[in-house]
Amino acid sequence: MIPDLWYKNAIIYSLSLDAFQDTDGDGVGDFRGAMRRLDYLQGLGVTAVWLAPFQPSPRRDHGYDIADYYGVDPRYGSPGDFVEFVNACHQRGLRVIMDLVVNHCSDQHPWFQAAIDDPTSKFRDYFIWADKKPADADKGVVFPGVQKSTWTYSRKAGAWYFHRFFKFQPDLNIANPDVQAEILKIVSFWLQLGVSGFRMDAVPFLIAQDGINIADPAPAYGLLREIRAMAQWRKGDAVLLAEANIPPDEALEYFGADGDRLHMLFNFPVNQALFYALASADGELLKDVLRASAPLPETAQWANFLRNHDELDLGRLSEEQRQTVFEQFGPEPDMQLYGRGIRRRLAPMLGGDRRRLELAYSIMLTLPGSPVLRYGDEVGMGDDLALPERDAARTPMQWSGGPQAGFTTGDAPVRPLIDHGPYAYREINVARQRADGASLLNWTERAVRLRKELPEIGRGSWKVLDTPGHILALRYDWEGETSVIVHNLLGEASEFTLALDRGEGDQRDLVCLQTDERVAAEADDHYVLILQPYAYRWFRLGGLDELVRPHGSQH
């Protein structure tokens, strides 16, 4: 039997409840608000919603500092509202994925409080301690500039504790079997309440067993298998989608050579190479990274994205490549972050140029894997560089040009709305774009629909076709269907040839799904294509709508 690999063609929409839709006027988005917008999301064509952390938290890192793994932050509603939200999603065929943040918890979590209060408490060993400040305490910092060290002294505990991220996020000690059991219980709890899976936070750090030996931690890959096994016992088609910014050659360790660890990984190397391709019009790095990202076990899948709630991390590019992206998309110092990233939204990075936005989206939607959209990018929302750090790209959703952009009836939104310049909510909003058939919103909706009509992209085998450096051409094959997706990274028109090797007797034309034009092969079985500046074309051999006569049939 073919297992239900729904996630291999999922269209995932990521949102933070606090910035999406408020209903009670306190300026903080909530579950009831998000529920009201589910028909919008369904109309956009997404099939799964990824919720940023919504559990009780001091929210010193946007909720990635959890103080109670089993609760709902009252600002977002009650546990009952959560369950209603999940039900409302299911009624519309939408799945819910939530963050699983178990590399660390908040220093306000009762486990940590018990651990610092009492050295004999069993919770002491839930964390990682040292009597003296470790020699490499200043190494391995994730947020340079805003995080000083990875070890902090607790006066109450009389010892140093390890924290990969901010000092209010003590790392959990996963070498402790009790901590592992806690993680499995959390997974089990939320699956039981109806979620379809988890976006697992900071996985390389989670499985790095030895906090003290930062330079060379031994990864506990086996833990991933246990979490997966537990998740699938509870719910057969549950998925684990990992945030793991790792080089392509480590990916199989995360997926498991037999596909028995994580189902999905965000493809960070591809994300960075894609921005380099957009910045330089040179697609060779992207093609190399794509080739290095294959092949995967049958049940494994990449998740592709343009922007997320963090900075655009360029840490895997060479210094020269990174500078090229900075120059193009984040030239000012306040656009950059941690020396390696850009804290802007997609639309301003691309200068609001509709052709380049479509190009970027078109590539992301058709890369091998499943696409993950970021709330607001479907209307081309901007950023607010006056906000600190990563908050620049976390402003409230711009629903309309009315008061507070339709986000809240109150007058104090959780973060300020963008109200000036070309990305102000009076200019850029859902209501206006809904009414305009040519808007980015309606373009995105059509593109998502077409992506769903090409299941070979998520399920099939694929290869990068030979083309000039500024042309990206990918071919997908699955169950007798073939699609060919081409992109021109250059701001100039370009003509090129494609060799397809269709197989003997196969005379099918390439049919462009955006224009319904047919391109016939030349006598030598090559196709000649012309792409306008920054243009894209999604082709299906034979098109989407003609039934193919079985090969060799006489009738």
Active-site positions read 201, 243
How many chain residues interact with ligand NOJ (CB under 6 A)? 10
Q: Which residues sit opposite 536 in a β-bridge?
A: 487
Task: Please give the Cα distance from 56 to 75 (Å, whole number).
Answer: 9
CB of 65 to ligand NOJ, least distance (A): 7
Nearer to ligand NOJ (CB atom), residue 271 or residue 324: 271
338 makes contact with ligand NOJ (CB under 6 A): no
101 makes contact with ligand NOJ (CB under 6 A): yes
CB of 131 to ligand NOJ, least distance (A): 26
105 makes contact with ligand NOJ (CB under 6 A): no
CB of 503 to ligand NOJ, least distance (A): 44
* Contacts to ligand NOJ from residues 195-214, by CB under 6 A: 201-202
* DSSP summary character for residue 524: T
Contact window for ligand NOJ (CB under 6 A) among 59-67, 217-225, 230-238, 499-507? 59-67
172 makes contact with ligand NOJ (CB under 6 A): no
54 makes contact with ligand NOJ (CB under 6 A): no
428 makes contact with ligand NOJ (CB under 6 A): no
Among 18, 22, 30, 61, contact with ligand NOJ (rule: CB under 6 A): 61
Contact 536, 487 (CB under 8 A): yes
Contact 373, 379 (CB under 8 A): no
Contact window for ligand NOJ (CB under 6 A) among 56-64, 229-237, 315-323, 469-477? 56-64
Q: Identify the CA nearest to 544 among candidates 456, 460, 475, 468.
A: 456
Contact window for ligand NOJ (CB under 6 A) among 58-66, 188-196, 214-222, 454-462? 58-66
Q: Which residue is nearest to ligand NOJ (CB)?
A: 64
CB of 71 to ligand NOJ, least distance (A): 18
DSSP assignment of 196-260 equals: -EEEETTHHHHTB--TT-TTSPPB-HHHHHHHHHHHHHH-TT-EEEE-----GGGHHHHH-TTS-
44 makes contact with ligand NOJ (CB under 6 A): no
Tokens of 239: 């998925």
528-532: long-range contacts, CB 8 A cutoff, minimum separation 24: 528/495, 528/496, 528/497, 529/486, 529/495, 529/496, 529/497, 529/498, 530/493, 530/494, 530/495, 531/471, 531/486, 531/487, 531/488, 531/493, 531/494, 531/496, 532/488, 532/493
CB of 58 to ligand NOJ, least distance (A): 13
244 makes contact with ligand NOJ (CB under 6 A): no
DSSP assignment of 75-96 equals: TT--HHHHHHHHHHHHHTT-EE
Task: Please give the Cα distance from 34 to 41 (Å, whole number).
Answer: 10
Nearer to ligand NOJ (CB atom), residue 264 or residue 448: 264
30-34: long-range contacts, CB 8 A cutoff, minimum separation 24: 30/75, 30/76, 30/77, 30/81, 31/72, 31/76, 31/77, 31/81, 31/82, 31/84, 31/85, 32/77, 32/81, 32/85, 34/85
302 makes contact with ligand NOJ (CB under 6 A): no
129 makes contact with ligand NOJ (CB under 6 A): no
CB of 206 to ligand NOJ, least distance (A): 10
Among 7, 54, 129, 165, contact with ligand NOJ (rule: CB under 6 A): 165
CB of 185 to ligand NOJ, least distance (A): 20
Nearer to ligand NOJ (CB atom), residue 337 or residue 428: 337
Nearer to ligand NOJ (CB atom), residue 145 or residue 331: 145
Q: Identify the CA nearest to 269 among candidates 298, 235, 251, 246.
A: 246
457 makes contact with ligand NOJ (CB under 6 A): no
Residues near ligand NOJ (CB under 6 A) are 61-62, 64, 101, 165, 201-202, 243, 309-310
